[in-house]
Structure 1
Amino acid sequence: MNKKVLAFAMVSIVTSGFLYGANEAYSLESVTVSANKIEENIQDVPQSITVIDEETLQEKGIKNVADAMREVPNMYINNAANGSTISFRGLNTSMFTNNNPVVIYVDGVPYYDRYDFDPSLADVAQIEVLRGPQGTLYGKDAVGAVVNIITKKPSNEWHGNVGAEYGNYNTVQSSFNTSGALIADKLYAGINGTFKVDDGWIENEYPGMDSDANQKRDRKMSGFVLLKPTERFSGKVSLSDTYTKHYFMNGFATDSTGNLSGVDRDDGKHISSDVPTVERTAVKAQSLNLAYDFDAFKVESTTTHKKLDLESDFDADFQANNTSDGLKQFNYSEIETWTEELKFSGQTDAFKWVSGLYVDKEKREQGPYGAQAMSGGAVYDANADSTTDSQTQALFGQVMIPFWEKFELTLGGRYQRIKKEIDLVTTQTWGGMAFPDYAFEGEKTWNAFIPKVALSYKINDALTTYASISKGYMPGGFNYFATSGGMEENSFDPQTSINYEVGAKYVGDDYMLNASVFRMNIEDIHIYKISGGGAVWLTDNAKKAHSQGVELEGKYFLSQHIELSGALGLIEAKYDDYDAGTRTYDGERIENTPRYTANMGIAYVATAGWYGRVDFNAIGSTSYYDGANSQMIRSDGAIISNAKLGYKFKAWDVYSFINNITDESYISSYQSKTGLAMVGFNDPRRFGVGFRYSF
Structure 2
Amino acid sequence: MQNNGLKKVAVLLLLWGSGVSSVAQGEGLPVINVTANKVVQAEEEVPSSLAVIWGETLADAGASDIGDLARYTPGLSFQPFGQSGTSLPVMRGLTSGATTFSSSVLMLIDGVPVVSGQGFDHNLLGVERVEVLRGPQSTLYGRNAEAGVISLHTRQPDEGPYAEMEATLGSRDLTSLRVDAAQPLVPERLYLGISGEWRQQDGFVENLTDGNEADDRQRQSGRLSLRWLPAKDTDVTLRYGRLDYRDSAAPWGRAESKSRRVTSVDPGSNDSSGDDVSLDVRHALGPDLTLRSITARREIRDRVTQDTDLTPAQRFAVGRDQRLTTLSQELRLERQGDEGQSRWVLGLYGDRDDHQLQFEQRNPMGTQRSEATLEAENLALFGQWTLPLGERWRLTPGLRIEQSRVALTPRGAGQRSERWDDVTSQLALQYRLGDDDWLYARYAEGFRAGGFNAFSAQSDYPGYEPEQVASYELGIKGTALSQRLRYGLASYWMTIDDMQVQQVIQPGSVQITNAAAARSQGVELDIDYLLGGHWTLQAGLALNRTRFREFNDLSGDHAGHHNPFAPDISGRLGLRYDSPQGWYAQANLSGMSKTYLDAANRFSRPGHALLDLAGGYQQGPWQLGVYVNNTADRQYDAVGLLNGTIREYSPPREIGLRVGVSL
**What TM-score, normalized by structure 1, do the two folds share?**
0.87
| Separation of aligned partners in 2, 1:321 and 1:446 | 48
The aligned residue for residue 215 of structure 1 is 216
Give distance in 2, aligned partners of 1:486 and 1:155.
Answer: 55
Aligned pair partner of 1:304 in 296, 306, 310: 296
1:658 alignment counterpart: 628
- Residues paired across the two proteins, number: 631
1:401 and 2:387 matched: yes
The change in CA–CA distance for 1:401 and 1:669 in structure 2 (over 3 A counts) is: farther
Of 614, 628, 639, the residue aligned with 1:644 is 614
Q: Which residue of 2 aligns with 1:344?
A: 333
Give the corresponding residue for 1:443. 417
Deviation at 1:554, TM superposition (A): 0.8
Give the direction of change, closer, same or farther, for the CA distance of 1:35–1:694 in structure 2 (3 Å limit): same
Contact 2:214 2:251 in 1 (8 A): no
Q: Is the 8 A contact 1:401 1:409 kept in 2?
A: yes
Distance 1:421 1:607, change over 3 A: farther
User: What amino acid does structure 2 have at the position aligned with 1:216?
Assistant: R
Q: 1:354 and 1:612 mapped to 2: Cα distance? A: 41
Alignment partners' CA distance in 2, 1:81 and 1:688: 21
CA contact (8 A) 1:608 1:650 kept: no
- Partner amino acid, structure 1, of 2:528: K
CA distance in 2, matches of 1:603, 1:85: 30
* Aligned-partner SS, 2:353: strand
From 641, 646, 654, the equivalent of 1:671 is 641
What residue ranges of structure 2 are gaps of 5+ in the alignment?
1-25
Partner residue in 1 for 2:655: 687
Question: SS at the partner of 2:303?
Answer: strand
Q: Is 1:420 aligned with 2:406? A: yes
The answer to whether residue 538 in structure 2 is matched with residue 565 in structure 1 is yes
SS in 2 for 1:113: coil
Q: Is the 8 A contact 1:316 1:371 kept in 2?
A: no
Residue 321 of structure 2: which of 316, 319, 332 is its match? 332
Q: Is the aligned partner of 1:289 residue 2:280?
A: yes
Report deviation, 1:500. Answer: 1.1
**AA at the equivalent of 1:73:** P
State how far apart, in whole Å, the 2-side matches of 1:473 and 1:116 are.
Answer: 21
* 2:361 corresponds to: 371
TM-superposed CA distance for 1:532, in Å, is 3.3
Residues 538, 691 of structure 1: CA spacing in aligned structure 2 closer, same or farther, 3 A cutoff?
same
- Which letter maps to 1:77? F
**Alignment-derived partner of residue 191 in structure 1:** 194
Change in 2 beyond 3 A, CA 1:529/1:669: farther
Letter of the aligned partner of 1:446 in structure 2?
Answer: W
Separation of aligned partners in 2, 1:335 and 1:602: 41
The corresponding residue for 1:32 is 33
Partners of 1:682 and 1:416 in 2: CA distance: 40
Instruction: Give aligned-pair identity as a percent.
Output: 23
- Rounded Cα–Cα distance in structure 2 between residues aligned with 1:26 and 1:597: 31
Specify the code of the residue in structure 1 equivalent to 2:646.
M
User: Shift of the alpha carbon at 1:27?
Assistant: 4.5
Q: Deviations over 1:536-578 (max 9, x none)?
A: 3321123310111111111222222122221111111100011
Matched residue SS, 1:90: coil
C-alpha deviation, 1:333, in angstroms = 0.5
* CA distance in structure 2 between the aligned counterparts of 1:145 and 1:245, rounded to whole angstroms: 31
The equivalent residue for 1:98 is 101
- CA drift at 1:607: 5.5
Contact 1:523 1:542 in 2 (8 A): no
**CA 1:611–1:62 in 2, change beyond 3 Å: closer, same or farther?**
same
Separation in structure 2 between the aligned mates of residue 668 and residue 457 of structure 1, nearest angstrom: 44
3-state SS, counterpart of residue 245 of structure 2: strand
Answer yes or no: is 1:528 the counterpart of 2:502: yes
- Give the letter aligned to residue 445 of structure 1: R
1:641 Cα offset (Å): 1.0
Task: Give the whole-Å Cα distance in 2 for the aligned partners of 1:320 and 1:645.
Answer: 42
* Superposition CA RMSD, Å: 1.9
The question of 1:479 aligning with 2:447 is answered no
Residue of 448, 465, 483 corresponding to 1:493: 465
Which of 144, 154, 163 is the aligned partner of 1:151?
A: 154
Report the Cα offset of residue 108 of structure 1: 2.3
Q: In the alignment, which of 594, 603, 617 is matched to residue 621 of structure 1?
A: 594
User: What is the aligned partner in structure 2 of residue 74 from structure 1?
Assistant: 75
Amino acid in the other structure paired with 2:177: S
Would you say the 8 A contact 1:528–1:539 is kept in 2? yes
Quick one: which amino acid aligns to residue 84 of structure 1?
S
The structural deviation recorded for 1:440 is 4.8
Which residue number corresponds to residue 52 of structure 2?
Answer: 51
Aligned letter for 1:388? L
Match for residue 567 of structure 2 among 567, 571, 594: 594
Q: Which residue of 2 aligns with 1:12?
A: none
Q: Could you say what secondary structure the match of 1:180 adopts?
A: strand
Alpha-carbon distance in structure 1 between the residues aligned to 2:427 and 2:251: 42
AA paired with 2:284?
D
Q: CA deviation at 1:659?
A: 1.2
Equivalent-residue separation in structure 1 for 2:134 and 2:547 (angstroms): 20
Distance 2:275 2:497 in 1: 36
